[in-house]
Amino acid sequence: MDKMTLESCEERIGYKFKDYFWLRKALTHSSIKGDERPSNERLEFLGDAVLGMVIAEYLFTRFKGRGEGELTRIKSVVVSRVTLAKRSEAMGLGSFISVGKGMLFSEALPVSVMANIMEAIIGAILMDGGIEPAREFTLNALSPDISAAVENQNRLNFKSLLQQFAQREFASTPTYEVIGNSGPDHDKSFHVVALIGSERFETAWGRSKKEAEQRAAELTYSSLLNGSPYGAPGAGEI
């Protein structure tokens, strides 16, 4: 990886490295075999921890009127694989990472790889310059995503958020089952339960099946993030 490429990457991320060792390491994927530079996996681990701390601290300090549950929801959106990958792609970071030949046949890098680049760069900045530049980069890079999450622009995407969570934690995709309805045909409400595998989670009512599914997904997602018990019939009924 030549100096010109590294300098171009620095311009994209807005940080000048004292030691290019850390940037090269952050941009080296584990699919490269036999390379003299270790891959970015350890920096991903470090960056993930810094990312969580920085976002949690910012939300805690900036939004004093919001409760733990709401702050957890916002944080989970901001630090999600999908958000990090989209931000990494928007910054053009994928063009700088070195990957093995087997990955060069793909039209685009996987979401996990794009998300990991962001975490690795955060870790690299920390090692090169300390916590303050790492914090500054993280907040500057993710500022649009923090604003969107705070403004609840993702509210209608709880089914997607729950799906990501369930696939990661349970290796299963959520499904939804109508367990009841009420009202006349022209003004019917639906009662839906969210299921992950064979486990029944939260239930919710809605004026349409789609609305009920979204609300059940939101309740289930929130309860799982907060470590609440699940599987009890009727839990979370509203």
Catalytic residues: 48, 119
Measured between alpha carbons, how far is 131 from 212 in angstroms, rounded to an integer? 43
Please provide the DSSP assignment of 68-80 as one string.
HHHHHHHHHHHTS
Chain centre distance of CA 145: 10
How many Cα atoms sit within 13 Å of 3 on the Cβ side?
2
Comparing CA positions, the residue from 164, 163, 214 lying closest to residue 192 is 214
Please tell me the distance from the alpha carbon of residue 117 to that of residue 111, in angstroms, as a whole number: 10
- For residue 142, give both structure tokens: 């993710």
Closest CA to 131 of 74, 59, 64, 46: 46
User: Is residue 192 a contact partner of residue 179, using CB atoms and an 8 Å limit?
Assistant: yes
Please say whether the beta carbons of 43 and 123 come within 8 A.
Answer: yes
With contact defined as beta carbons under 8 Å apart, do 223 and 199 qualify?
no
